[in-house]
Amino acid sequence: MTTARSLCFLGSAWALAIAMSAQALHFTDDLEVTSKLGVKFYSLADEKHAIADAQKPLAADPKNPALLLKLAQAQFSVWENKEAAETLTRALVISPANADLLIERGHRELPLREFTNARADLIRGAALAPKTMAAYYHLGLAHYFLGEFAESADAFHHAVETAPSDDERINATNWLYASLRRAGKKDEAAKALEAIPPEMTNTAPHTRFYLNLVRFFQGRMSESDALPPEPPAGNTDQEAELPFDTVAYGIGNWHLYNGDTAKAQEYFHRVLKGHVWVTWGFVGSETELLRKPK
């Protein structure tokens, strides 16, 4: 049976992909977050009235955690992560031990660059729902962005083990490999890639980008073949940017742990030329440029 927690991953980790049509970005003047690089990021116009539609049933049942969760997901669909986190906080007052709400709030805190808060929520969510991939996957990201690579690898191990499909297994394996390499565990990283044999393929279209990264890590695909076309200057097409951000960050990261810092930073800067500030490739690139060299 599909649970709310399995939908939390499928309906939120992939919500970005679902929301990303070929339509142009139309930003509002509502500030969501200012990055530590000093860049201001804004929400999108709710042209499909998703938030208003989610608010209608809440008028009759304002303390329903499930309806509040739906509102938060509608808010996220237009990059209102700050508002989504606030909605989930309201829901957690009503249902404080609700794993779905904790996992979802932790997810929303990541694009807000609130990694420490996300880590705390996701640790609690994983403890309450230990068989839920979404908790471990996003906990792995929180640790990763905080530079806690051994802890990140442990979380992504659990994400791979609890993955309900090959798509999620491919996705998590990409991050597991990167975490282990950043933790200095090269042999373990190579072994982790064995979970994705040559015959495995994706079914969700956006998993193709992660699969290409895994094939690149395995030496089965060249860097140039794995990397999608870079969006042109002034691009406002979300669909064109998502694959580039994903793969460019992963390849840049590969150059970083293989000792070519200059090449890595070149990739990270290329990602940050874009506008889709909620992707993990964008957040990761920003985070890497903020890290102090060791």
Q: What is the pLDDT of residues 13-47, one digit of tens each?
A: 444 444 444 457 899 999 999 999 999 999 999 99
CB 287 within 8 A of CB 256: no
Convert the pLDDT of each residue in 136-152 to its tens digit.
999 999 999 999 999 99
Write down the residue that tokens 């690898």 correspond to.
153
Least trusted range by pLDDT, from 6-20, 71-85, 97-111: 6-20
Nearest-angstrom CA–CA distance, 66 and 55: 12
| Residue 228 placed within a domain | no
Instruction: Say what percent of the chain tops pLDDT 90.
Output: 85
Q: How confident is the model at residue 206 (pLDDT cuts 50, 70, 90)?
A: confident
| Residue 4, Ramachandran bin (φ over 0: left; ψ between -120 and 50: alpha; else beta) | alpha
Nearest-angstrom CA–CA distance, 244 and 233: 13
| Residue 171 placed within a domain | no
Q: What is the mean pLDDT of residues 204-213?
A: 92
| Residue 196 placed within a domain | no
Virtual CA dihedral for 66, 111, 214, 172, nearest 10 degrees?
-40
- Domain with 107 in it: 1-146
Nearest-angstrom CA–CA distance, 156 and 231: 30
Residue 231 neighbours by CB under 8 Å, 6+ apart:
237, 240, 241, 244, 274
Q: Is the confidence at residue 11, as pLDDT, over 60?
A: no
pLDDT confidence of residue 4: 45
Convert the pLDDT of each residue in 76-93 to its tens digit.
999 999 999 999 999 999
| Residue 174 placed within a domain | no
| Residue 15 placed within a domain | yes
What tokens were used for 66? 């499930």
Instruction: Find, among 145, 149, 174, 181, the residue nearest to 159 by Cα.
Output: 174
Write down the residue that tokens 């690149």 correspond to.
216
CA atoms within 13 A on the CB side of 292: 1
pLDDT confidence of residue 232: 85
Q: Is the confidence at residue 227, as pLDDT, over 80?
A: yes
Instruction: Find, among 210, 293, 193, the residue nearest to 251 by Cα.
Output: 210
Instruction: Find, among 20, 25, 82, 5, the residue nearest to 242 by Cα.
Output: 20
| Residue 25 placed within a domain | yes
| Residue 278 placed within a domain | no
For position 114, which CATH number holds? Answer: 1.25.40.10
Q: Is the confidence at residue 7, as pLDDT, over 60?
A: no
Q: Considering its fold, how many domains does the chain have in total?
A: 1
| Residue 227 placed within a domain | no
Other CB atoms closer than 10 Å to residue 224's CB: what's the count?
A: 8
